[in-house]
Structure 1
């Protein structure tokens, strides 16, 4: 009888614990008033944020020629230790893309990783970085995306083994890793460095590749931008902190030039997945590239 009571108590406590977990980690939406106050989109700024975020790199069709780079048909396979993710169609097609989405739905996906139907999104979509974006920049990006060509392509779903195909667990991941805090604290940084911090830590999401991850796939922020294994399995992503013997020997001008031209100070050229990133960065205003360089020279060496 006593054992039965103990087991019953364990079951009740377990149920309470599961209920509390589900409640605490439920998909979150931002107040609708935030998006309603965004006003008319600034399309020029939306295009700038589009390039800073490198949306083309993941969402254009694999192998698309330059004249099709703005057709965001999706389909790119992103391999990871957790399975293969496929970038979705984010063109303004009303059925296959996001043409029927509202700004609030788009904004919740960007800043909270919450899908249109209230589901947790996988962090292969870098909302853990986009959480730092301003409402205005998200709204301007949404407005710009609406001007791009439509595609009726239906991108494949994710190919994930159990238990990674259980979205409920993503609430726990978000609880651990989703926040809006700066990745590094920069005391008394000037406005140029602050602007660079916003671009790198927010829309540019540079840390998603250049920072090593723990066993749960969260960024090890104590090693911010220190490089690590390529999440797709080939080679390593370089350390881009101002550490000696590598990127630290580059001047701010070298970084600006590299982001614009694709050439390193020793006349090597950009390679791998950084090719498309560099092409996007080259489309930014020079002051944005200068701000990124100033930030990368200001962060702690790792």
Structure 2
């Protein structure tokens, strides 16, 4: 049982702009709630930084906008303190930006510890890993020897896509921002990387990186990068749309039926929850690669609950590598 008596949480104070600031949030506290019958008290250990959460703060997402004044939601990992599950059980759930969560036991998914670090349940073995594996294997279905272009390549999903594509025998080209991130990608499965911070002509940059043509595009950016990819991809190419981070601060992609029709392109808007029937298959495949040490997950760690706004901003602006996580407690 915890000796702490107060819970601290971050609440949304105002809608963020293109940059996320600590001023957009306020710190609140209240007594830690003792679990009632059918509930568990969870010590929230790790917060996951995800783009969908930013979209909900600004009111631009598939889910409802987060009401001003309410606690920030969000995927998290924690350990059970007391209640309907054994103390010490590793659990995941939408516990939100707080130090302790009292939730229904059904809202806390018990997890088995395995060959991967616990935090990988928020990345390689969580929604990002499922998104990477399922969009690649069930939507794009690329053949060995073909060329795949990936935007947002140094992010959580993109970095996994590159490694998974390498295992399939693909030529993989990434798009990332900055020399350090580009160098890191070259060490983790990518044959070539385009530094978005130096590009003046996106179509030409793509064609130069892929002299034999681009067959598939895994889109995490949208906007002008998607526009250029449609122009650069080979006839009959397939594109999976998994994110649109490039549209937070720049115009959305402008595509016409002509762009798609005459090249015979296929675009698929991917939603991971449409593939729940394949989650078990995907997780088993991902864990097998982890056990074989063929899958690596870089993590950028931010310390303390108060660091969550800066962590979200860093994720959105491409500062850091791989998965952005907040280590909630400093004990």
Question: TM-score, normalized by length of structure 1?
Answer: 0.27
The structure where strand makes up a greater share of residues is 2
